[in-house]
Structure 1
Amino acid sequence: MKRILVIGCPGAGKSTFARALRDRTGLPLWYLDQIWHRPDRATVSRAEFDARLTGLLRGDAWIIDGNYLRTLELRLRAADTVFLLDYPTGVCLEGARARIGTKREDLPWVEEEFDPEFRQWIEDFSRDQLPEIRRLLEQYGEGREVHVFHSRAEADDWLRTFPGV
């Protein structure tokens, strides 16, 4: 387990899970949100994002946190381990609500409100994103360690029993 993806709906706790993995493995952790966004919330170009991501994927060991469906196939090809946090929409909505107003390692700004567009993205995730994520996992899962958690308790239990590397 040296090249790890952590994916799932916004608000599921991907970043929290990825930090726990980083702390147990010592692997470098990269947040796709920090690659895509500048501190002023502007985004970089797709070419700049893709070039930086491609550089990261060449590394021997990493944890990458984030969905960014457009580049998931590329990341799956490079990964040896995938964690999908496949939680109910209500859990993800509550997770996103809970982080409002808090400074986070994975975002270069503090979210001050629960943006209605972001809320809709979460509500539509299981319909619009999850089927494609599952399809790609089916296509690229062979030869990779794939863990799908359906609750925070499942993920926490796995972390408790994981000895690290």
Structure 2
Amino acid sequence: VGMRINVIGTAGSGKSTFSKRIAEKLDIPCIEIEELAWKSNWTEAADDELFSKLKTLLSSEDWVLDGNYSKTRHIKWKRCQIVVYLDLSFHIIFYRLLRRTLIRIFTGKELWAGNKETFWRQFFTRDSVIWWGLSNFFPKRKYYLIDSKNPEFAHIKFIRLRSRKEVEDFVTHKLHTV
């Protein structure tokens, strides 16, 4: 029997790091939805292209999917067994977003499809991941909690981790018991 996990949470919650850690521990592939969603010059992939790529990758028996993209829920949660929601506090999210963004800007880290974050984009435009993360923190929290109670997703075990300690405890002690 396969293991199919989707890790969700707002920008800066630690989805990518967490997803990679659990995929490594379980020795299964980690799929980063951002990699499928972005093309060069920060152009978003068309929905049909994103959906097609996602369906192909999620057709395997084992995976950890890192990412939200509610428009893909009908695909990603069809066969998903576990959704881990990283629900950390606002101040932790803000700190992480700011720190991560500054590191990416100053190191010139290449992200998906060769894209790089720039100071201008992140601090002076509405395309900022910081702006997006902070403005969506509370609305997304509400929707994630509603989703976890939706009868359509009754086949999924929802796990909500609310602190760094709970996240660490899950990875080191509880992962193999789910």
**TM-score, normalised on structure 2?**
0.81
Q: Quick one: percent identity of the two aligned structures? A: 20
Q: Which residues of structure 1 form unaligned runs of 5+? A: none
**What is the rounded CA distance, in whole Å, between the counterparts of 2:118 and 2:42 in structure 1?**
13
1:93-131 deviation line (CA, Å, top 9, x unaligned) = 111112123337778544243345332322222333222
**What is the rounded CA distance, in whole Å, between the counterparts of 1:36 and 1:92 in structure 2?**
22
**CA 1:65 to 1:163, structure 2 compared with 1: closer, same or farther past 3 Å?**
closer
More helix by share: 2
In the TM superposition, 1:96-115 aligns within 5 A as: 96-100=97-101, 101-102=103-104, 103=109, 108-113=114-119, 114-115=122-123
Q: Answer with 72-81 or 100-109: which moved more.
A: 100-109
Q: Answer with 16-25 or 64-73: which moved more.
A: 64-73
**CA 1:108 to 1:18, structure 2 compared with 1: closer, same or farther past 3 Å?**
farther
**What is the rounded CA distance, in whole Å, between the counterparts of 2:52 and 2:21 in structure 1?**
27
Which has the higher relative contact order, 1 or 2, with Cα contacts under 8 A spaced 6 or more apart?
1
Q: How large is the Cα RMSD of the aligned pairs?
A: 2.4
Q: Which residues of structure 2 form unaligned runs of 5+? A: none
Aligned length: 165
Q: 2:8 touches 2:66 (CA, 8 Å); kept in 1?
A: yes
In the TM superposition, 1:11-90 aligns within 5 A as: 11-90=12-91
Q: 1:89 touches 1:122 (CA, 8 Å); kept in 2?
A: no
Report what 1:159 is aligned to. 171
**What is the rounded CA distance, in whole Å, between the counterparts of 2:95 and 2:112 in structure 1?**
18
Q: Answer with 92-101 or 120-129: which moved more.
A: 120-129
**CA 1:163 to 1:134, structure 2 compared with 1: closer, same or farther past 3 Å?**
closer
Q: 1:5 touches 1:82 (CA, 8 Å); kept in 2?
A: yes
Larger CA Rg, structure 1 vs 2: 2
